[in-house]
Amino acid sequence: MKYIKIAIASLLGLGFLYSCETKEPQFGPGTGEVEFRTNAITVLENSGLFTIPLDLTGAPGGYPVTVNIKAEGIDVDNVDDYLIISSRTIKITRANNSYVQLIPRFQATDDSDHQIKLTIESINGASIGAKKECIVTITNVNAIQYGQYEFASTTSNPATWTLILSEGPENTYIVSNICDSEYTPALIGEFDPETKQLVCDGRVNGKTIYGSLFNNLNYGVYNGKNPLAFLGGGNDGKEPIVFNVNENWELSATTSTFIMLELVLNEAGTAIVDQIELCSFSGNATLTYLGETGGEVWPF
């Protein structure tokens, strides 16, 4: 996936990431050896945070064992453009549960797979083991950038609002905050990389709807009283909502229709006497990427 939403997280343990301002004591290697647990790992662009464990065997010359790691691009010039590495100096304590933390970087215009080689360059307190190298393969997946988008249209009610696109189940997307309303459902969409379109066919996140959500009166109640109706386009109100995706893998436009109606009931609650449009959009609308929903804060 061309982008991954990375949420704010707490520090993931100081035992393997801490640094010391005083001069580090120098140990002999003892009988200890440090190596990567694996020689190779493959991740998708949308994998987010992943780890590569370091294994310490034998008796080191002292703790903490300090491991210095070098990162080189096999087919890229600048590693930092493609891979965020938590630290190239890892401390192994007696708990012996240390690892390197990494996050693939977003490359909007690069649709190729890439490889980066990690090498244990030097160790204080142990020797370098047999698995001193690990090849990280970053696999490209064409998909859409998560985050906030400004939705703007002269035929929208309201005229502008903030759409939120996030990760959904089983390679789908969740479109939420439609019309900035607490009553609009979070729609599930599927991306077609050939047509570069995100299609929301009426499925709703977190609730099972039999048939299409659109033209279905069984989702939600407005102000605790009247039922809500949701319509898509077409004569039957069941046309899907389709978003176009631009060359930067961002939502860019839609010509689809969406209407949310409050169905006003009579006092007995047995018949619909009126309908009130609560929000809608129809016709040409543009979407502008605003950024990450939680801010670009790395979890280490």
Identify the residue with better confidence: 81 or 14: 81
Omega of the bond leading into 169 within 30 degrees of 0 (cis):
no
Identify the residue with better confidence: 201 or 222: 201
Q: What tokens appear for 159 in the block?
A: 């005229």
Mean pLDDT of the chain: 85
Chain position carrying tokens 């998909």: 143
Residue 147 has pLDDT above 80, yes or no: yes
Residue 184 has pLDDT above 90, yes or no: no
Residues 211-228 have pLDDT tens digits of 456 655 555 677 778 888
Looking at residue 22, its pLDDT comes to 62
Q: What is the mean pLDDT of residues 245-257?
A: 93
What pTM was computed for the model? 0.61
Q: What tokens appear for 226 in the block?
A: 């009247």
Q: Got the DSSP string for 205-230?
A: TTB--SS-STTBS-S-EETTTEEEEE
**List of domains in the chain:** 33-139 (2.60.40.2030), 147-291 (no CATH)
Residues 61-75 have pLDDT tens digits of 999 999 999 999 999
Looking at residue 8, its pLDDT comes to 29
Q: What is the mean pLDDT of residues 26-50?
A: 93
Looking at residue 106, its pLDDT comes to 74
Question: Please, which pLDDT band fits residue 125 given cuts at 50, 70 and 90?
Answer: very high
Strands of the sheet with 99-104, listed across from one edge: 83-85, 99-104, 50-57, 33-36, 127-128
Strand partners for 224: none
Q: What is the mean pLDDT of residues 159-184?
A: 91
